[in-house]
Structure 1
Amino acid sequence: MKDTLNLGKINPNEQRNKVPKHIPSKVHPDTLFTFMTDFGFLLGCLEHKMLSPRYCEEDVRYLNLRRVKSLAYPMKCFCDISLKKLKVHMDWYGDYGIAFSKEWGMRHNIQPVHYLNEESDLRKDITEVLKAALNEEKAGSKTHEMLKNYLLHELGQFTRNYTQTTKRGLLTTNKG
């Protein structure tokens, strides 16, 4: 058996710019905002035509993993809140921001997070899979390491506890 696995990375033979047709939501805004606390950060983004990720530590105790309490991921946060809620959001995340269309986000592989109810079957399933990967007896094989790294990266980076309080004191929910 070949000891390699394609874990969602782009196959070089696939079209890179193949983006599904964007259908704007009738319920949520069709704009992605990102905010910062310093005008110099915004100028840097514009000058370098780049949005730099920062490492964000995520509390993963809700997953009930014995040895893992938190994980840190490089990320750049976006929100799709309505303009009516923008002022409250800016009070927490900064007065300087930039907005993009969701179609732009799709073209640039922006991935929304999935909020987990701590008591849900999905959260329990994710916990069991991660525990198995972290405690696997066959640890050390390339396949095992790839699966473990994939699970910790993908599940951890794109899932959040629905009611977790962040370091800024905000309630993390998908309600914006």
Structure 2
Amino acid sequence: MGNTTYQGVSPVRGMHHITSAIRLSGDSRKVQLPADVYQRTARLLSYTTEFTMIASLKQELRNVGTILSFSEGNNRFFELQSSGRKDEIRLHYSHKDGVLVESFPYRLADNTWHKLAVSLSGDSVDVFVDCNRIYSRVIRAVDLELGIGILAFGWAKGIQSTIILRVYYKMLKLSSNHTGSFSSAPI
């Protein structure tokens, strides 16, 4: 994440001021990773029904945006969002019946560093914030046939142009099992 070639991406001090992070701001709200990264990730996820998205982030007050997204055009396969206006974390995911949404009331956009982990295992989802499970819920099975698409993070898709995502990332990763959430907690 040290790449600062994207407009609106700048290096900053991280969670403990001794590590680095990146800050996303400005009019350019989309950071799209290279196609080969997407393909490797899609291949990894095609072999499992369990995975965990882990992020260390700080989101500014009342801010709205996407933490991680797998998409192709207007089709979302998987998208994790945080809304500082509604104080909720939203999971959009593909299912054979279309894109479904699960909402988890939680104030993540509080200008404080958080460790977020969202684990999917079969038909269940667990949400961890700062190493504490805050939600465990049964959902419809996630369709992980991602096809050709893009892997992006830190953008505000479908939001009015006057709203600019302002978030700091220390870490963003995917683990191909549901126990990946434990790697975000200190040992």
Shorter-chain TM band: under 0.3
Larger Rg: 1
Specify which structure has the bigger relative contact order, considering alpha-carbon pairs within 8 angstroms and separated by 6 or more residues. Answer: 2
More helix by share: 1
